[in-house]
Amino acid sequence: MELTWPTFRAASEATDPEWDPLTRDDLLFEDELLDVRLDAGRSTVSVIIDSGSRGFARVLVAHRVRAMHWSVLGQNVPRFGQRIARMIWTSNCRPVAGGLRLSLGVQGDLDFEARRASRISFRISAAEFTSYELHVEGMPEAPPDYGELDDAAIQAQRPDWDSTCRVVSWSRRTA
């Protein structure tokens, strides 16, 4: 997947705005955050997201990154430090001073009896974002059983940076 510095095609191939996570809030609801990569030399951050229930993966690329922030808030984050499906609950891309900010709220845990909650917040501030919708060969519709399988078996069932894929659509947003 060489998507960090793509050659853009005609604008007519861009994603329908109705399905563009750079313009539509919470479009990534219940998608799985799989991996984040930082290329410090190019000031680029790439995020791979599994939208398997809809039959595709998505890669979001931030160019000319000014800040990246990952925080775990609260207590009782399930299986913290272990491999687990981290589902996205909220998503948006908003203008901020000097650029745009992509914010993802990731599933934590709720304990109504103890009145505690946890959440994971991931934010990237950058001058430009690109979103790619990808068809990945052999991608299952449901996530693997993270509780039963080892890392190699889980990874074999997830799209990753080396997966063979085809770009279905893309969009770009600049500050």
The pLDDT profile of the chain, 175 residues, written as one tens digit per residue, is 555 444 433 333 445 666 789 999 999 998 999 999 999 999 999 999 998 767 789 999 999 999 999 887 766 665 666 677 788 999 999 999 989 999 999 876 555 555 555 678 899 999 999 999 988 888 887 778 888 888 888 888 888 888 888 888 889 999 8
Residue 151, token pair as written in the block? 């890392």
d(CA 175, CA 145): 40
Predicted pLDDT of residue 111: 53
Both structure tokens of 76: 């009782």
Cα separations in angstroms, 29 against 11, 42, 67, 86, 174: 26, 29, 23, 11, 23
137 within 8 A of 157, measured Cβ to Cβ: no
Strand partners for 12:
none
The pLDDT score that the predictor gives to residue 148 is 86
Q: What is the predicted pLDDT for the residue at 93?
A: 95
CB hemisphere CA count around 11 (13 angstroms): 3
Residue 85: its pLDDT value, please? 79
Kindly state the DSSP code that residue 153 receives in the 8-state scheme: H
Q: Are 20 and 131 in contact (CB under 8 A)?
A: yes
